[in-house]
Structure 1
Amino acid sequence: MKYKEVQERTPQLIQRLVEVWEESVKATHLFLSPGEIAEIKRYVPAALEGVAHLVVAERDDGMPVAFMGVQDRSLEMLFLSPEERGKGLGGQLLRYGIQRYSVESLTVNEQNPQARGFYEHMGFRVYQRTALDEQGMPYPILYMRLERPAP
Structure 2
Amino acid sequence: MILEKVTANKKLIVENLILIWEDAVRKTHSFLKEENIEKLRPLVKLAIKNMQTLIIAKQKDDTIMGFIALENKKIEMFFIKPEYWKLGVDKALLLFAVENYDVMWVDVNKQNVKALKFYENMGFTVFSCFKTNNTAIVRMKWKEEK
2:122 is the counterpart of 1:144 = no
Query: Partner of 1:43: helix, strand, or coil?
Result: helix
Output aligned runs, 1:54-69, within 5 Å: 54-69=54-69
Output aligned runs, 1:31-70, within 5 Å: 31-70=31-70
Gaps of 5+ in 1: none
Structure 1 position 125, deviation (Å): 0.9
- Opposite residue 113 of structure 2, the aligned amino acid is P
Alignment RMSD: 1.3
Q: Which residue of 1 aligns with 2:117?
A: 117
**Partner Cα distance (1:84, 1:4) in 2:** 17
Q: Which residue of 2 aligns with 1:108?
A: 108
Structure 1 position 60, deviation (Å): 2.3
TM-score, L = length of structure 2: 0.94
- Opposite residue 8 of structure 1, the aligned amino acid is A
Of Structure 1 and Structure 2, the greater helix share is in 2
Structure 1 position 87, deviation (Å): 1.2
Q: Which residue of 1 aligns with 2:28?
A: 28
**Partner Cα distance (2:121, 2:137) in 1:** 18
- Contact conserved, 2:10 with 2:49, CA < 8 A, in 1? no
Structure 1 position 8, deviation (Å): 2.3
**Partner Cα distance (2:61, 2:9) in 1:** 19
Q: Which residue of 2 aligns with 1:81?
A: 81
TM-score, L = length of structure 1: 0.91
Per-residue deviation, residues 19-55 of structure 1 (Å, max 9, x unmatched): 0000010111110000011111111121111111100
- Opposite residue 88 of structure 1, the aligned amino acid is G
Identity percentage of aligned residues: 28
- Contact conserved, 1:56 with 1:66, CA < 8 A, in 2? yes
Q: How many residues in Structure 1 have an aligned counterpart in Structure 2?
A: 145
Per-residue deviation, residues 91-129 of structure 1 (Å, max 9, x unmatched): 111101110000011101100000000000011111111
- Contact conserved, 1:9 with 1:49, CA < 8 A, in 2? no
- Opposite residue 28 of structure 1, the aligned amino acid is T
- Opposite residue 18 of structure 1, the aligned amino acid is I
- Contact conserved, 2:108 with 2:137, CA < 8 A, in 1? yes
Gaps of 5+ in 2: none
